[in-house]
Amino acid sequence: MVQSDIIKKHHFVFSKKYGQNFIFDKNLLQAIVEDAAITSGDDVIEIGPGAGTLSYMIAKKAKTLTCYEIDHNLEGILQESLAGLDNVKVIYQDILKVDVSQLDEQYPNGYHIVANLPYYITTPIIFKFLEESKKIKSMTIMVQKEVGLRMIAPVGSKDYGALTVSLGYRATVEYKRTVKRQLFTPAPNVDSCIIRIDFTKSPYHVQHEETLQRLIKCAFAMRRKTLVNNLRQEFGLDLESGQQLLESLKIDPQIRGEKLTIAQFIELSNKL
């Protein structure tokens, strides 16, 4: 039975609270798995399997698939739609409560995340894995189009911000495709996109990650302020030494944070 029929059979009621907008379109599901570049040696984690449509496609390609689903009402549906696949496990747990260091231990050779993310917690999920995992290799995720555009925004643009820089110094980020809202059941109010974040290809070397994270946060905390003013507040510098610091890196002392490239963020954090 196809998954959309399984959903009907179980009289499933979509929950807005859990961001349940499912995908049944086979071509799109196929494209997402191709975007993720999963191969038969890969261990994959899926966040929010829903009716198991994407899960089924991933499991056919991957070595193992572990799904984390918050909604117990999907148990019967997932059992049916993933029946016969012996490399899949579904854990009914809130992904935000999962201990990432334990996941890292479980997958010493690393793992990939593939997910059509629930929109209400997109950024917390991304930052959880970004900050806590040392073993994650890639993340291929469906997010709201505007969030995807923030991830790949060029320096100086209105979308360029903490998300762009935090991802950009750790990984390479690719915008794979736009996904129109009509392809979801039920259809949300916005379009989406597929983003692939590859943590195995980071072009930068960071010496003091904690300082860099503080710098990113303060640079975008008050976007209308000059960088030097934000620096004074966060790092307790006086105006003159702040300006000298920027000049020593050939950065305009009047610059705003949004004009600072990722390479400059790293240089500055190394000096700080």
Among 38, 47, 143, 268, binds ligand SAM (CB under 6 A): 47
Q: Would you count residue 148 as binding ligand SAM (CB under 6 A)?
A: no
For CA atoms 71, 72, 74, 79, give the dihedral sign: positive
Residue 128: strand, helix, or coil:
helix
Give the N- to C-terminal CA distance of the chain in Å, as an integer.
Answer: 60
Tell me which of 6, 7, 12, 18 binds ligand SAM, using CB under 6 A.
18
Size of the site for ligand SAM (CB under 6 A): 23
Instruction: Give the residue from 114, 90, 143, 87 showing the smallest Cα distance to 29.
Output: 114
Q: What part of residues 204-263 is at the interface with ligand SAM (CB under 6 A)?
A: none
113 belongs to the binding site for ligand SAM (CB under 6 A): no
Residue 3: CB minimum distance to ligand SAM, A:
8
Residue nearest to ligand SAM (CB): 48
Examine residue 38 and tell whether it contacts ligand SAM (CB under 6 A).
no
Applying CB under 6 A, among 2, 37, 91, 96 the residue interacting with ligand SAM is 96
Question: Where does this chain touch ligand SAM (CB under 6 A) — which range of 63-71, 152-160, 233-241, 263-271?
Answer: 63-71
Is 22 an interacting residue with respect to ligand SAM (CB under 6 A)?
yes
Q: Which of 83, 76, 44 minimizes the C-alpha distance to 63? A: 44
User: How far is the C-alpha of 243 from the C-alpha of 224, rounded, in Å?
Assistant: 17
Report CA dihedral (166, 170, 171, 175) to the nearest 10 degrees.
0
**Of 178, 175, 179, 177, nearest to 196 (Cα)?**
175
State yes or no: residue 65 binds ligand SAM (CB under 6 A): no
Among 28, 95, 139, 171, interactor with ligand SAM by CB under 6 A: 95
| Cα–Cα distance measured from residue 179 to residue 147, given in angstroms and rounded to the nearest whole number | 13
Place of tokens 């300082």: 211
Which residues of the chain form contacts with ligand SAM (CB under 6 A)? Answer: 18-23, 47-51, 53-54, 68-71, 94-96, 116, 118, 121
